Amino acid sequence: MAEQRASKVAVIGAGPAGMTAAYELAKQGVHVEVFEAGPEVGGLSKTIDLWEQKVDIGPHRFFSNDTRVNKFWLEVVGRDYRMVNRLTRIYYKKKFFHYPIKPFDALQKLGIFTAAQCLISYFAVKFTPAGDTSTFEGWTTNRFGKKLYSIFFKTYTEKLWGIPCNELDADFAAQRIKKLSLWEAIKNGVLGGKGNKHKTLVDQFAYPLEGTGMVYQRMSDFIQNHGGTVHLGCPVKGIKTENGKVAALELQNGETKDYDTIISTMPLTLMVNSLPEVPAEIKQKAANLTFRNTVIVYLRVGKKNLFQDNWLYVHANDLQMGRITNFSNWVPEINCGQDDTILALEYWCYDHDDFWKSDNESLIELGKKEIVQTGLVPANSVNDGFVYRIPRCYPVYSSGYKENLKPVEDYLSSVNGLHVIGRYGAFKYNNQDHSILMGLLAAENILKGTNHNLWEINTDYEEYQEKSVITETGLIEE
């Protein structure tokens, strides 16, 4: 039997998961209040105005095979999107390799000797598999061979996570590239991507005309036009409970608001500390979980048509940056008629790293130096720079992390009226579509009394409904 429907719900965080849940509840007449610590909605998928153009905070494409998620996205976006032909490459040893792999391109650029080493090491693990596949290194080596792993996985992954690949849990690989193998990549290259279903290999995706953040701004407008409120610059201090059930939300400004239903997308580690009477053991388990920070250095380049990629992966040991996004190659609408090219250079670090504490001027100078070093940008063509810092944006799947996460999940699940979702909230390395699904199912649990296990929604989830794809003309079911 369904529970009595909540009449008033608080949502902590205005990212994809939180905004989706709030939007769905507002549609059904539930009074929703969203509390966002930052100045804009969208979370990691927000769009900002910079140098009279619009840019996202990194390359945030939308792609899903889940009909439910796709229908929801189209409901919000309408016809205000374009299909973008994806071009991404890997920068390695001063050369650019197509990704997904194109066999003849890779053969030519790696050279016969290195290409032969890749094939030999690939077949070697087929006869003698790696012993320990619980780590990213073992899992990936077993799938691709040691040589390909060292070229196309190791350097970038260690930049991103800041730990050796043999200390990173295989979950990261299993979730992101679980169905991708060397054979599938080669087949994809030979067939030109026809019939491809693997997200890593998808060569076209839908993108809103005003940037990714447009989706969540529209949700915000809808919520507020249907009796809800979206509070920006309004961080939450904690949650009050009574007899194991949520009772109120305490804001940083000292104000307290009564709720019996709260959806939280705030970082899981902060959520645990925001609750009263949490056992010391659970607090310690949460403290053992870590997030990785991102520093984005935006560069304003006074040149057009620098390169055709949407983004590039930087697999070079002599460069600190890990990814480069070229916003001129997404949709023309976000360039707002400007001729300058805006590039986003991504760097990753922890709170305790000196890099996180570096001043903006030195970071911009580093970005200028490194982008010129790649040969992508002529010297003296960068006219301006801007630094954007994102704390706690990547949940780190260090070896054994599940032993810490599971007890925390169980404890939070025991708090009646609390629904924990999103990349931050659930400590899951979500894409937009995964977070949107979490939001949809959280709303359904509240509205209909269903019992979807939100912790199970992850980057490797099996789609809940029939499959489909978004195309230029709308939704096509497969």
In a domain? residue 178: yes
Both 226 and 153 in one domain: the answer is: no
Q: Is residue 223 domain-shared with residue 185, that is, in the same domain? A: no
- Which secondary structure element, helix H or strand E, spans residue 285, and what is its range? helix 280-287
Cα separation values, 376 from 197, 206, 310, 335, 384, Å: 31, 26, 13, 19, 17
pLDDT of residue 132: 82
For 81, the token pair is 């999107």
| Torsion-angle region of 209 (φ positive above 0: left; ψ -120 to 50: alpha; else: beta) | alpha
pLDDT at 478: 60
Is there a single domain that holds both residue 77 and residue 109? no
Q: Quick one: 121 and 197 in the same domain? A: yes
Per-residue pLDDT tens digits for 88-112: 999 999 999 988 777 678 778 888 8
Domain limits for position 152:
101-202
Residues 142, 79 share a domain = no
Residue 57 is predicted with a pLDDT of 94
Residues 407 and 282 in one domain: yes
Domain boundary among 138, 170, 202: 202
Tell whether 180 and 249 lie within a shared domain: no
For residue 149, tell me if it sits in a domain: yes
- Determine, yes or no, domain membership for 79: yes
CATH of the domain at 233: 3.50.50.60
Same domain, 278 and 414: yes
Q: Is residue 292 part of a domain?
A: no
Give the tokens for residue 128.
């003698």
Query: What does the pLDDT read at residue 98?
Result: 86
Q: Which residues contact 306 (CB under 8 A, 6 or more apart)?
A: 326, 328, 341, 343, 376, 377
Instruction: Count the domains in the chain.
Output: 2
Res 315: pLDDT: 93
SS3 breakdown of the chain: % helix, strand, coil, rounded to 5?
A: 40, 25, 35
For residue 211, give the 3-state DSSP assignment: coil
Let me know whether 108 and 56 are in one domain. no
Position 467, amino acid: K
Which residue carries 């077993």 as its tokens?
Answer: 142
What local confidence, expressed as pLDDT, does residue 142 receive? 87
Residue at 155 is within a domain: yes
Measured distance CA(261)–CA(443) in Å, rounded:
11
Please report whether residue 76 resides in a domain. yes
Give, in order, the Cα–Cα distances in Å from 197 to each of 203, 468, 478. 10, 11, 11
Which is nearest to 44 in space by CA: 425, 470, 319? Answer: 425
Q: Tell me, yes or no, whether 74 and 215 share the same domain.
A: yes
- Give domain status of residue 477, yes or no: no
Same domain, 114 and 141: yes
pLDDT value of residue 199? 47
Residue 338 located in a structural domain:
no
Judge if 420 and 280 occupy the same domain: yes
Q: Give the pairing type, strands 229-231 and 382-395.
A: unpaired
pLDDT of residue 105: 80
- pLDDT given at position 2: 40
Given a cut of 50, the residues of the chain with pLDDT beneath it are: 1-3, 193, 195-201, 463-465
